[in-house]
Amino acid sequence: MNVNTRKLTKLLRDYGTMRGKLVSNKSNLDDILKEIKEYTFPNVVGEVSNKRIRKFGEGSKQIALIDFGCKENIIKSLVDRDCTVTAFPQDISAESIIEGNFDGILLSNGPGNPEDCKIAIENIKKLYKTDIPIMGICLGHQLMALATGATTAKLKYGHRGPNHPVKELKTGRIFITSQNHGYYVKEDSINKDIAEVSYVNVNDGTIEGLDYKNKNIFTIQFHPEACPGPQDCAHLFDRFLEMCSD
Amino acid sequence: MPKNEKIKKVLVIGSGPIIIGQAAEFDYAGTQACVELKKEGLEVVLVNSNPATIMTDKNMADKIYIEPLTVKTVKKIIEKENPDSILPNLGGQTGLNIAMELAESGYLQEKGVKLLGTSPEGIKNAEDRQAFKDMMESINEPCIASKVVTDLQSGLEFAREIGLPVIIRPAYTLGGTGGGIAYTEAQFNEICESGLRLSRVHQVLVEKCISGWKEIEYEVIRDSKGNCITVCNMENIDPVGVHTGDSIVVAPSQTLSDKEYQMLRSSAIKIISALKIEGGCNVQFALNPNSFEYAVIEVNPRVSRSSALASKATGYPIAKVAAKIAIGYTLDEIKNAVTGKTYACFEPVLDYVVVKIPKWPFSKFLTADRNLGTQMKATGEVMAIAPTLEAGLMKAIRSLEENIDSLILPKLSIYSNEEIREELKKVNNERIWVIAENLRRGMTIEQIHEITKIDKFFISKINNLVNIEKELQSSKLDADSIRKAKKYGYTDKVISNLTKARIEDIRKIREDNNIVANFKMVDTCAAEFEATTPYYYSSYDEDNEADKKTDKQKVVVLGSGPIRIGQGIEFDYCSVHAVWALKKKGFETIIVNNNPETVSTDFDIADKLYFEPLTPEDVENIINVEKPYGAIVQFGGQTAIKLTKALKEMGVKILGTSEENMDRAEDRELFDQVLNNCNITRPQGGTVYTVAEAKEVANRLGYPVLVRPSYVLGGQGMAIAYDDSDIEKLIEEINKIAQEHPILVDKYIMGKEIEVDAICDGEDVLIPGIMELLERTGVHSGDSISVYPTQNVNKESADKIVEYTKLLAKELNIIGMMNIQFILQNNEVYIIEVNPRSSRTVPYISKVTNLPVIDIATRVIFGEKLKDMKYGTGVYKRSEYVAIKMPVFSFEKIKNADTSLGPEMKSTGEVLGVAKNFTDAIVKAFIASGVNIPQEGNILITVRDKDKQEVLPLAKKLYNRGFKIYATKGTSAFLKQNGIETNVLEKIWEGAESIPNLVEAGKINFIINTPTKGKESSRDGFKIRRLAVECKIPCFTSLDTANALYDAIEDTKTEEEIEVVDITEV
């Protein structure tokens, strides 16, 4: 009650992303500040990724989903499109997935700095070399970029909210998207022979999507599964599944 | 896609006079559009019949035609100006209908004129009921079970098929004119019949009634490339069944889950894409609160009242963006004017709640039906912005200026518990107060929801406010309880009433504990980006954002609040011009207003915009933060004038005429002294408080007398009394609201009314023009036809009027604007009243004289002298053109309102007719106001005894011209005696030749009916007048108006034959 969200937003806007804590009593402020300063969250992806292999739906397409902290609606969006989704823990080996003979792979969203996901990056390098279609969302998008030689950096205060306009460069069309990320793929680090930019953010021009050359791979920084947020880009799941049918 | 370079000259069609359902929002949209088009280097030709608008100002367009908004006239303008395109979607339904008629008839194609924005097919698919339904079916969007019918019988059959109740919606009408919900077959017949009659294409939609569902609106924008965004969504607190213009609306929606929100958003985008809209569009949905079932109610393929509200609620300038899209730009090429950093292609986020409450004219129409349904009745609206819904509701309530500043409506306290529960079933303008009263008496949120179907969330918010009342009443007054009450939107005055603590003590606690209002910015992005446009609302959170430093001196201009009868768009015109004049003088300008429809609340107008209630406390909060050099009150109508005393007490310098002198003009006894000092006569009279006193004065003066409260605008509560019983009724009515000031009783003098606006600098006076009113005294000046320059005033009288104006200006030490109303009787000049402020006629007189009246007045306020300006002093040179301002009424929207003209103003808007001579101008004015001028046909005359002699010459002239006269028995007998053959109507309501039969069959061209006496019209007369309104037949209740129409009939020129006038060349 009575959180001045506007003041908080301005603080973040001016000073960038920072740690914080919601408290009801300010009397021991020094202790709170100490706690905030010392707070770390190592292996955040490992913490939020489900440790078990889970199966969803009974559709005709077999999709492997690597769960880096996956939003439920990604799974639902696939299941609703006639897929059987097998969700794997984030540290699953590339070999296990390749052996599974899936029609496509979805690299899910997830929290934290993508560079910390060392195992996943190594696995994705291997998956990239196969012919299996891959779609990456958010963290999945960043990890694919890192796996193919690009680099990532941290935004001052991230893109967060259900109202981020992105431009599809091929058509010039704008879509309003749901976003929630603190890192981005640096444009000058992209090897033009490997990938080309498909979407950019209208507000700050950062990369919002990549199409991989001579591969059935595309990744996006925003959340086409929405929930919350606009579903204007839900058609990207169809694009992915078309790749999976080829 | 960049600008289309083929577009060079654009015709913009405005929306015409302010009527219920089409108000100032189109001046706001049109003005934004004109500014944008001019910025793009295009030549702009404008047509609008409404002279009170800012969009018809000289600097807004290259050519301006204040001409009737008819297909014929617009064609004449197209032929004269040869524009290459028309912008149709910013002039409301009126502009859109004209453009559609021109397009569908093939005229535009023939002339090579392009319709900008949405294609005619797209517009038709959205507007035509059947086409729309087919389109929705083809894209799988659900509509409500409905059928378009063109006759009563098939309508009834369909209603039986889907089951009553059903809603009837006529096609192509404004604000749903003539629509309604029918619960019985009898009701169905009545509503369906009138709906068919009012529809331009004679069709109505009969649809399944889904009352109880939520009503949600989305404002969507689409460009030629297919990019779509939703600017905001809004939720009506009132469930489906009440016209959205009559609903309390909140933005953003408060009770939808993300799933519901996105489902409707996706649907809105799908619809706007299917219709290929290019520009702004509004989609209304009904949503079943218990499932994910929804239905599309309607789509407006143009900017609308809702888009104005959405623009003000979010800071996103929809009309501006729509204009840019119309000339070729796409959303990703248009910058967001608020942040200056982001683009128009994004969706605003709100970190506050917006509440809109309609302003209804029921205090003007005591006989009117106050129930709300599908027919809009509000003349205007207020908007409030606050951190919470509760505070927003409280702010909006006090912005209404209804003498109510909380959820306590005193008159409800006398109801018994049973009665107050019964009240809950009524859907009328008092519903939220009735809900609060029921909560106060222990009804539960659940029970109230069961009856009203209003979402429990909203009822619980009202309950929160009721609980604050209880806490204030029962607990000790301390800093914590005050802080809490302030956060919930309570003013010190209400806290004082509830706690019985003195306001000074409450203020002291607030000062000691730093409980002060802080201002937050409306920035379209919830602070995510730094914004550059200072648009503020108050909150009791910490952190004041209205702290931008400036070296300039600041001046506050107080706005005029919601559009209402008596105080309309004219005052917004004045406020905006004052701001512009102040900017030129180098001041930092601050505007305070709460009307979302207007130009003044566009964040582009003043340096700072405060969207706040216009009450002393709310204004003081702003004063405390801004510490202005002074404030100007004389341009904001009575709303601003009422704040003068409070401002002075805050230590704010009143710029222009001083408070003392304003008082001398308004206060009866002081004003008598003023007149004595000037040796000017006025009708004899006295001031009273009670019925007994009033009777005493009236009998001393002799009847008839004019009775009115002081300090009002638009003649509120004013009437002519003919005897003691009239006095009793009138005084009782006035005293229903506690009067701070005495009631005035004056001898009624019948004569010609003259109106003068003047600018005075303390030494000299400049009179832009003298206006003559066609209706005699007794009809409110705002409802009279006003003619400039005067046609029937001799030099002697005119000189006297000028002399009196100068004397009064000097005596009252007027600095700035004043307005005087005179009576001319047998070459005697009497004063009716002096208003020490800008008036309703200022925009019109500015335009026809080419004098920048407000600019001059503002400069004078800051010490410039008239003699140093280039405009001269005394009466400004007489125009070569005659300009006639004619009132426009909205009687068909207000069921059971009496249409007879009297001292209390009833018109909602005005049109202008400009021509080289009087008769051409009057023809134009009548056409513009929607009156057909017949050259043959039938006329019904029914007048009271004392008017019979006077109606005779007119009846003779009409008769000699070949008109057939129908008359009621008494009138007929009299006319026959005087050699006029009439068809006598033996029985008014029965038989083949009954009045309803004749009128409904379209056999009567117009009616002349004078009410028997005062306010207490005879039932027959009242019913005849209502019948005329329902059948859209002119009914003249003043013989002067009827005579004016005869002048127009005599000028046999047709609309095509009368020249159109570009007023920039006048």
> Over pLDDT 70: what percentage of chain B?
98
The 10s digit of each residue's pLDDT in B483-521 is 999 999 999 999 999 999 999 999 999 999 999 999 999
8 Å CB contact of B262 and A165: no
Partners of residue B265 in chain A, C-beta under 8 Å:
230
Q: Quick check: helix, strand or coil at residue B641?
A: helix
Backbone angles phi, psi at B1006, to 5 degrees: -160, 165
Q: Is residue A33 part of a domain?
A: no
Q: Is residue A1 very low, low, confident or very high in pLDDT (cuts 50, 70, 90)?
A: low
Backbone angles phi, psi at A224, to 5 degrees: -70, -20
Partners of residue A202 in chain B, C-beta under 8 Å:
332, 342-343, 345-346
Q: Quick check: helix, strand or coil at residue B559?
A: coil
Across residues A50-62, what is the average pLDDT?
97
How buried is B507 (Cβ within 10 angstroms: 0-12 exposed, 13-18 middle, 19+ buried)? middle
Partners of residue A174 in chain B, C-beta under 8 Å:
227, 229, 331-332, 345
Best mutation site among B345, B483, B484, B530 for testing chain A: the one with the most A CBs within 10 Å? B345
Nearest residue to A4 via CA among B611, B539, B524, B393: B539
Amino acid B170: pLDDT? 86
Partners of residue A163 in chain B, C-beta under 8 Å:
346-349
Of A10, A163, A172, the CB nearest to B347: A163
For residue A225, the distance in angstroms to the closest alpha carbon of chain B comes to 12
Nearest residue to B24 via CA among B574, B576, B595: B595
A70 is catalytic: no
Q: Is residue A21 part of a domain?
A: no
Amino acid B1014: pLDDT? 46
Q: Is residue A17 part of a domain?
A: no
Between β-strands B786-788 and B765-776, what pairing exists: parallel, antiparallel or unpaired?
antiparallel
Mean pLDDT computed over every residue of chain B: 93
Q: Is residue A12 part of a domain?
A: no
8 Å CB contact of A228 and B269: no
Q: Is residue A219 part of a domain?
A: yes
Determine contact: B529 vs chain A, CB below 8 A.
Answer: yes
Q: Hey, what long-range contacts does B252-255 have (CB within 8 A, 24 or more apart)?
A: B252/B350, B252/B353, B252/B354, B253/B216, B254/B353, B254/B389, B254/B457, B254/B458, B255/B214, B255/B289, B255/B455, B255/B457, B255/B458
> Over pLDDT 70: what percentage of chain A?
100
Could you give the strand order of the β-sheet that contains B180-182, starting from the edge strand earlier in sequence? B146-149, B204-208, B166-170, B180-182
Query: CA nearest B387 in A: which residue?
Result: A4
A115 is catalytic: no
For residue B330, the distance in angstroms to the closest alpha carbon of chain A comes to 10
Determine contact: A226 vs chain B, CB below 8 A.
Answer: yes
A138 is catalytic: yes
Determine contact: A24 vs chain B, CB below 8 A.
Answer: no
- List of residues 6+ apart from B1039 with CB closer than 8 A: B943, B947, B950, B951, B954, B1008, B1010
| Placement of tokens 């400069």 in the chain | B859
8 Å CB contact of B265 and A229: no
How many angstroms separate the CA atoms of B813 and B462, rounded? 48
The 10s digit of each residue's pLDDT in B661-673 is 999 998 878 999 9
> Over pLDDT 90: what percentage of chain B?
79
Q: Is residue A13 part of a domain?
A: no
Structural domains for chain B: 9-116 (3.40.50.20), 145-209 (3.30.1490.20), 359-365+391-512 (1.10.1030.10), 518-651 (3.40.50.20), 656-682+749-879 (3.30.470.20), 684-748 (3.30.1490.20), 933-1056 (3.40.50.1380)
Query: CA nearest A234 in B: which residue?
Result: B266
Nearest residue to B394 via CA among B567, B192, B537: B537
Of A7, A13, A227, the CB nearest to B258: A227
* pLDDT tops 90 at residue A24: no
Determine contact: B543 vs chain A, CB below 8 A.
Answer: yes
Helix (H) or strand (E) holding B217: strand B214-222
DSSP string, B365-414: -TTS--B-SSS---SEEEEEEESSHHHHHHHHHHHT-SS--SS--GGGGG
Amino acid B660: pLDDT? 95
Residue A208's domain spans which residues?
A: 52-245
Query: CA nearest A226 in B: which residue?
Result: B262
* Tally of domains in chain A: 1
Amino acid B207: pLDDT? 87
Q: Is residue A143 very low, low, confident or very high in pLDDT (cuts 50, 70, 90)?
A: very high
Determine contact: A230 vs chain B, CB below 8 A.
Answer: yes
H helix runs in B823-961, sequence order = 842-849, 853-861, 918-928, 945-960
Q: Is residue A69 part of a domain?
A: yes
Determine contact: B750 vs chain A, CB below 8 A.
Answer: no
Helix (H) or strand (E) holding B971: helix B969-977
Determine contact: A229 vs chain B, CB below 8 A.
Answer: yes
Partners of residue B225 in chain A, C-beta under 8 Å:
172-173
8 Å CB contact of B345 and A174: yes
How many angstroms separate the CA atoms of B405 and A123, rounded? 67
How many angstroms separate the CA atoms of B773 and B887, rounded? 11
Q: Among residues A138, A159, A181, A208, which one is catalytic?
A: A138
Query: CA nearest B526 in A: which residue?
Result: A6
Q: Among residues A159, A164, A223, A244, which one is catalytic?
A: A223
Task: Decide if B132 contacts B172 (C-beta within 8 A).
Answer: no
Which tokens hold the place of B609?
């915009």
- Give residues 147 to 186 of A whose Cβ lies within 8 Å of B: 161-165, 167, 172-174, 176
What is chain A's Cα-based Rg? Answer: 19
Backbone angles phi, psi at B182, to 5 degrees: -110, 125
Q: Is residue A98 part of a domain?
A: yes
Determine contact: A37 vs chain B, CB below 8 A.
Answer: no
For residue B634, the distance in angstroms to the closest alpha carbon of chain A comes to 37
pLDDT beneath 70, residues of chain B:
1, 172-177, 711-715, 738-739, 1013-1018
Best mutation site among B347, B522, B542 for testing chain A: the one with the most A CBs within 10 Å? B347
Partners of residue B259 in chain A, C-beta under 8 Å:
227
User: What CATH number corresponds to the domain at position A104?
Assistant: 3.40.50.880
Determine contact: B895 vs chain A, CB below 8 A.
Answer: no
Partners of residue B542 in chain A, C-beta under 8 Å:
4, 7
* pLDDT tops 70 at residue A144: yes
